[in-house]
Amino acid sequence: MTETSPNLEIQARLLELRKVLQRTSYEYYVLDSPTMEDSVYDALYQELQAFEAQYPQLITPDSPTQRVGEKPTTQFVSVQHHIPLYSLENAFASNDVITWQERCQKGVEKQEFLDSVCELKIDGSAIALTYEHGVLVRGATRGDGTSGEDITPNIKTIRSIPLRLNLENPPDRLEIRGEAFLPIAVFDEINQERSQKGEALFANPRNAAAGTLRQLDSRKVDKRRLDFFAYTIHLPSALGRGAGGEGNPQNLSDITSQWQALEFLQTIGFRVNPNKKLCQSIQKLQDYYDYWSTERLKLPYMTDGMVIKLNAFSQHDQLGFTQRTPRWAIAWKYPAEEMPTIIEAVTVQVGRTGTLTPVAELRPVLLAGTTVSRATLHNSDRLAELDLHLGDKAIVRKAGEIIPEVVRVLPELRPNGATRFVMPTHCPECSQPVFKPEDEAATRCINLECPAIVRGAIEHWVSRDALDINGIGEKLVRQLVTENHITSVADLYDLTSDRLQTLDRLGQKSADKIIAAIAQSKTKPWARVLYGLGIRHVGSVNAQNIADNFPNVELLAMSTPDAIASIFGIGEEIAQAVYEWFHKDANQDLVQRLQSAGLQFVREKKDENAIAINPNIAGKTFVVTGTLPTLKRDEAKALIQGAGGKVTDSVSKKTHYLVVGADAGSKLEKAQSLGVECLSEEELLKLISSIT
C-alpha cells in the first residue's frame, strides 16, 4: 500500500542519500578523486528518485535530482546583478603590468611590491551565482555587467557548481563569480557530431559555451558537459575586511585575501583552477606569464592570458573601481597565436556593396584551440604586399583571437611552378566586369543585379536596425534570390503567401507570418527606410541625422553634396556617397517602387509641444557605444535627440559626452585620450531627467 506521507525513517534516509550523493559529486567533479563506483552512485540516485516520486512534497531545490529540468523554458528573463560584474583592464606587455603595479602602490601609499595572485584567464563565459542560506537560487550571465539573463536551469546542469554549499551557518546571501567553459575534448566531440549532421560548426569553445548556456532546454545543456571554475567570492558586508594573509580560512570571517578566498571556495564545494600562484615580485609575475605562454597549449581548456589581482582585500577597498574596471586587477593577455600552414586555394567572396574579398583556403591547422581552414586576405593591395602564390606556406593568426588572417608567406619554401594569385577581372557571382577606384583598396562589382549584392541588400533591409522584418534570414534570402528571381528589396513587396509556399520547407503558417511582417515594415519611419537602402557609409545614426534635416526623399535626392555635408556630423565622404547613390537611375527606380509599395519616405510631423528641451542636453554632442543595460542604442539616441542633443557616430574633440555600455572598445579609449566625459546609462537618464 502506497504511503501518503513519509515517516521519520524515510525522511532521514532521504537526507542521508542527498548528503552522500552531493559529497560524491564534489569528490568526482571538483576534487577529481572519485571514491564511489559509478554503479553504486547510480543505485543510490535511483533510490532517491523513487522516494521523491512517491513523496514529491519532500523534493528540495538542492536535491541532486533537480539538476536537469523536464520542461524547456520559453525565454530568459533579464535580471539585475546584486553586485556588478566589472571588466578588466588589459595589459599586453610587462611595462603595462609594471605601470599598473606602481599605480596601485601610489593608491595605497606603499613603496614596496604589493603581493599579487596570478590566475589563468579562462576563455569561457562569466557567470554570477547567488546562494541564499547556502542553496543556489540564481545563476545569471554577465550581460552588460549591470544586468544579465537568468539561466538558473542551465547552471544547475554543471556538476562542478554545487546546489548547496558545504558551509555551516551560511549567510542569508552569498555571491560567487566564475567562468563556465567547454573543455576542448568536449568541444571537438560536439563539432564532430554537428559535422555528421550537416550542421554549422562552432567557431571556438568560447562561442560554444556561450551558445550552450542560452539553450532553452536544460536537457540539451546537460549533454554538452560544461565545466566551471570559481574565482571570486563576495563577502557579506557585515563581516568586514582586514589585512591579507595566506592561512587557510575555516570561516567566512577569516577571509581577508584573494588567496584565502580561492582556498575557501574549494572547501565549500567549488572547483578552483589549480594553476594559481601567489607572487611577491614583478619577476615572479613575469615567470608565471612566460611559463604558461607555452604550457597553456597543453591544457584541456582554453586560456588567453593571466589575471593578476592584489592579494589583500584591504587594498581592494582602498583602490576601488573606475567606471568599468577594478583598479586592483589587470588581465595580461598573450599575443595572438600564429601557426604555419599551406594555402591550397583562394576563393573570392562578394559583399553587400559589391566589394570582392579574397579568402585563403588553408590546409586545416589548430589555432588558438580551434581548427582553422579559411583566412581573410582583405583586398588586392594586401595580396600584392604578400606576393601570395598558390601552394605557399604561410603564417596564419587570429586577429583579435577571432578572425583568422594570413600574416605573411614564406617565399623560401615556395614550391616550384607555383602561380601568383591575382584578383579576378570579372565578378565570380555574376561574371560582370569589376572596378577598382585608384584611391581605394577595394575591388567592386558594380552590377546592381548581381546575386551577391541583391542577397546582401535584402539581408540589410530586413535587419533589426533597418526594416526589422522577422522570419527572413540568410537561408530564405538565398532561396528567394535563386528560386524566386528576386532582384531588389522592392520585390519583397510583390510576394504572396502562395508564392512563398513554393519554397522548400515553408508552410502556410510561416509564409503568412512573413507576409504580415513585410506589411508591417511599411510603417517604419523615414530614417529607418533611409538606413535600409544600404548607402555606403550611412549608418543608423547618420540616417537619422539626414532624415531630420531632409523631411522627404525628394528634397534629399535633389540636394548637393555641400548641402548634405552641412549637417552636423555628416562629412564630405558620406555626403558624396549619398549624392551619388540618388543620382543613379536604378536607385531612383528603386525608390519609386518602394514609394508605390507604401514605404515611408516622408518624416513624421513632430508635436513640438511634446518635446522637452533640456538645457543640460541641448546643443551637446553625444556618441553612444557598447551594449547598454536596458536601452537599445537607437532608444538612447532618440532620448538624447528628443531632449535637444545631437548624436554622431565618431568621437572627436567636439564630442561632449560618450555614453558607454558593455564591450565599448576603441571609442572609449579615444574618448579617454581626448578627455571626453563618459556616462553610464544611469547617468545619461539622470542628465536627461534633470532640469537645472
Please give the positions annotated as active site. 121
Q: What single-letter amino acid sits at 212?
A: T
The Cα 35–Cα 27 span in angstroms is 7
Query: Which one, of 138, 139, 230, 141, lies nearest residue 178 by Cα?
Result: 230
In the Cβ-directed half-sphere of 411, how many Cα atoms lie within 13 Å? 6
Query: Which one, of 132, 152, 149, 179, lies nearest residue 81 by Cα?
Result: 149
| DSSP structural state of residue 26 | I
Residue that the C-alpha cell 594586401 belongs to? 382
Burial (Cβ within 10 Å: 0-12, 13-18, ≥19) of residue 298: exposed
Which residues lie closer than 8 Å to 22 by C-beta, 6 or more apart?
A: 62, 64, 162, 163, 164, 166
In the Cβ-directed half-sphere of 578, how many Cα atoms lie within 13 Å? 31
- Phi, psi at 110, each rounded to 5°: -130, 145
The Cα 403–Cα 338 span in angstroms is 12
How open is the CA angle 686-690-692, to the nearest 5 degrees?
145
- Phi, psi at 418, each rounded to 5°: -65, 140
Which residues lie closer than 8 Å to 378 by C-beta, 6 or more apart?
A: 357, 358, 405, 441
Q: What single-letter amino acid sits at 594?
A: L
Contact, 458 vs 395, CB < 8 A?
A: no
The Cα 292–Cα 276 span in angstroms is 11
The Cα 483–Cα 235 span in angstroms is 61
Cell for 70?
523536464
Cell for 632?
537599445
Helix (H) or strand (E) holding 15: helix 8-25
| DSSP structural state of residue 602 | B
Cell for 159?
556538476
Query: What is the CB neighbour count within 10 angstroms for residue 318?
Result: 16
Contact, 175 vs 233, CB < 8 A?
A: yes
CA distances from 275 to 182, 303, 306 (A): 18, 12, 10
The Cα 346–Cα 290 span in angstroms is 36
Provide the strand spans (E) within 159-202. Answer: 173-181
